[in-house]
Amino acid sequence: MNRQETLAGQVALVTGASRGIGLAIARRLGQMGARVSLCARNAANLERAASGLREAGIQVLALPTDVTRADEVAGLVSETQRTFGTVDILVNNAGIGIFGPFQEQTEAEWNAALDTNLKSVFLASRAVAPEMMRRKAGHIINIVSLAGKSTFATGAIYCASKWGLLGLSGCMAEDLRAHGIRVSAICPGSVATEFSPHAGKDPSRMLQPEDVAHAVAALVTQAPGSFISEVQIRPTQKP
């Protein structure tokens, strides 16, 4: 894809960006001219991702971060602002998948899923909101899932976190729209990544990380007088 400078001068922060959907989003925003701050828990994977983006000519800051911890999130936002400037675009992508019959799940698994998939969005969004409100501009994009709108066996904890995230996204949008901040939720179906098992599915017929990145690109290039609150993405053919 050729570089497009649509986002020249803007700063994007992408969580869970060391691989898969997050990395594809970071690459797309960087190709559009944004300076991109990446975070993930695994430092080695994160640096590998950052190196690849730098080789493509993208300005990157990579900070190992546990987004379930308020102090680390605050540090991430502070260092991003110090290095690149105030955050124009926040993409809350960090997430984990825990699957199995709900009666067999542990409290630790519940806490891990809800903290990563839901609490982290609250923490990161709260951290960038004051500056966005001051400037009366900004995008917050939450990567949810079609699991936030449906139920299936073995999905209790995951679905609970994503249903909650969809509700949080809608309320955030209402709280922040008067301040010029646009909050959107992207709900993809199954994406061909290492995130969760896709037994029996043909990866070539599944959504790709770049499909989600394309939706993010569309959201951040909307005309200023409107915003798209929710995007659902499905593959053309069922896998």
Which residues are annotated as catalytic?
158
In DSSP terms, which residues pair with 60 in a beta bridge?
Answer: 36
3-state secondary structure of 205: helix
The first and second tokens of residue 184, run together, are 């959107």
Radius of gyration of the chain (CA): 17
Does residue 95 contact residue 118 with C-beta atoms inside 8 Å?
Answer: no
Q: What angle do CA 102, 189, 123 make, to 5 degrees?
A: 70
CA distance 175 to 96: 27
Amino acid identity for residue 232 in this structure:
Q
